[in-house]
Amino acid sequence: MRQTGSSIKPIAVVAPAIDKKVITGATILDDTEKDFANNYHPTDYNEQSLGNITVRRAIESSQNIPFVEIMEDLKPKTAINYLKKMGITTLTEKDNGLPLALGGLEKGISPLQMAGAYATIANDGKYIEPTFYTKIERKNGSVIIKAKQTTRRAFSKETAYILKEMLTQPVQGQNGTATYCKITGVDVAAKTGTTDENYDRWLCGFTPYYTAVTWYGFDINESINFNQRNPAGLLWANVMSRVHTGLNSAKFEKPASVTGVTICAETGKKATTGCQNKYVEYFLAFTAPKELCSKHSGKEIDTNSTNDFKKNVTEIVKGITEDIDAKEPVPTIESPTNTTNTNTTSTENNTQKTNNSTSNKTNSTTNTNTNNSTNTQTSNTNKTNNTNSNDTNTTNNINTNNISSDDTRIDNTTE
């Protein structure tokens, strides 16, 4: 078990807060240093606070303070209940505090359980217990052992989709911490994690096909300096890029009940034609902001006329020809934005398709238990890389190495 750093934010903060309608992706939060309860004073990575930003923007460059603010409203006990539903079993009473938002844990979490939790997002909010095999058969086809996996609903498919969409931001965003994880033709959701003194580096992520989690560190804590690179992230990117070679292109599928609205990133309200910094955000039913941006004049934008909600275009994913060896992304320096137009809209996801190859005998997944490896049995909810003639389902565990060009500067011993 290891400290998770910021890789815990999507599962401990964002998923439960969206599901409980505490926030939306467009909620504006104040990314400014402040004191919280019990003299807790977190800072942002490189101490770069951004002022008023959306939740989506906070995820993109993994700002710290906004997630503590959300946890303050959500309550750590609620977060712990959600984590338990996602298969996390190593939390203690001492984790019932605000540092939980940034991965400040007494014991930590294993890469296997982190993979199971991220696979819950990929599998539309359904937790499926990780397994290292599906079944073992005799030569005559009789089954000797068949895996029995616990399954349960952790949150709605709508919440899962919105979280998937927001987690593409570290990969696609200008200030993303995992931009080297892009796979052409495939949606990629990813989150990095770094702990104090660079002792632990994580990359947790998934596509419509696979979930993979990688951790990089030492048994006895030692700072990781990897020539301005993220070892965990590079492992993730190189393995996942190759695993997807030859598969059909795939996008995250939006449930019909999720609404897309063009938002002004400065105010968190519905964008007008005068808003320069705008984007499409996704909302649960009845949670989208109703007010137009009051900071920029103009007419309301019809989201349906400007966005095709990522229609699928079938093509074959091409593999990489050279190893990915990218340096960690350097965020653009931004001036803090403080606006009085705070979004007060306090707010009231797809079957995991995979590579069904009919010739393989083993169902291999690229991780400590990818979402496909955690779900190898559930061919409908998570159609994994199920080779229909498999004798055993093996997983290639790469969880002992992975870094993430991330963000969290936390005291992992803080209670």
Question: Domain for residue 317, yes or no?
Answer: no
Question: Domain for residue 93, yes or no?
Answer: yes
| CATH code of the domain containing 236 | 3.40.710.10
Structural domain boundaries enclosing 76: 5-243+326-374
Cα dist from 219 to 194, 215, 227, whole Å: 16, 12, 21
pLDDT for 386 beyond 90: no
pLDDT for 228 beyond 50: yes
Residue-wise pLDDT for 21-31, tens only, equals 999 999 999 99
CA distance 235 to 255: 32
Q: Are the C-beta atoms of residues 406 and 377 closer than 8 Å to each other?
A: no
CA distance 363 to 376: 8
Higher pLDDT, 150 or 314: 150
CA distance 56 to 262: 13
Residue-wise pLDDT for 77-130, tens only, equals 999 999 999 999 999 999 999 999 999 999 999 999 999 999 999 999 999 999
Tell me whether residue 205 is exposed, middle or buried, using C-beta atoms within 10 angstroms of its C-beta: 0 to 12, 13 to 18, 19 or more. buried
Residue 269's CB is within 10 A of a number of other CB atoms, namely 25
Q: Please choose, from the candidates 393, 303, 317, 347, the residue with its C-alpha nearest in 3D space to the C-alpha of residue 73.
A: 347
Q: Write the DSSP symbol of residue 153.
A: E
Residue-wise pLDDT for 252-274, tens only, equals 999 999 999 999 999 999 999 99
Question: Domain for residue 405, yes or no?
Answer: no
CA distance 259 to 394: 39
Q: Write the DSSP symbol of residue 318.
A: P
Q: What's the confidence (pLDDT) of residue 328? A: 82
Joined together, the tokens standing for residue 341 give: 């137009």
Q: What's the confidence (pLDDT) of residue 174? A: 94
CA distance 201 to 217: 7
Question: Domain for residue 120, yes or no?
Answer: yes
Question: Domain for residue 265, yes or no?
Answer: no
pLDDT for 11 beyond 60: yes
Amino acid, single-letter form, for residue 251: K
Question: Domain for residue 181, yes or no?
Answer: yes
Joined together, the tokens standing for residue 306 give: 């400007």
CA distance 407 to 415: 20
Question: Domain for residue 129, yes or no?
Answer: yes
Residue-wise pLDDT for 188-204, tens only, equals 999 999 999 999 999 99
Domains in the chain, number: 1
Q: Which residues contact 75 (CB under 8 A, 6 or more apart)?
A: none
**Alpha carbon 311 to its chain's center:** 22
Joined together, the tokens standing for residue 117 give: 């939790």
Q: What's the confidence (pLDDT) of residue 338? A: 55
Report the helix count and the strand count for the chain, using DSSP H and E. Answer: 11, 11
Question: Domain for residue 356, yes or no?
Answer: yes
Q: Are the C-beta atoms of residues 202 and 403 closer than 8 Å to each other?
A: yes
Joined together, the tokens standing for residue 201 give: 């580096």
CA distance 163 to 166: 5
Q: What's the confidence (pLDDT) of residue 54? A: 98
pLDDT band at residue 329 using 50, 70 and 90 as cut-offs: confident
Q: Which residues contact 377 (CB under 8 A, 6 or more apart)?
A: 128, 131, 134, 147, 149
pLDDT for 399 beyond 80: no
Higher pLDDT, 145 or 337: 145
H or E element, residue 144? strand 143-146
Cα dist from 46 to 42, 230, 406, 407, whole Å: 12, 16, 11, 8
Print the SS3 string covering 72-95: HHHCHHHHHHHHHHCCCCCCCHHH
Q: What's the confidence (pLDDT) of residue 303? A: 77
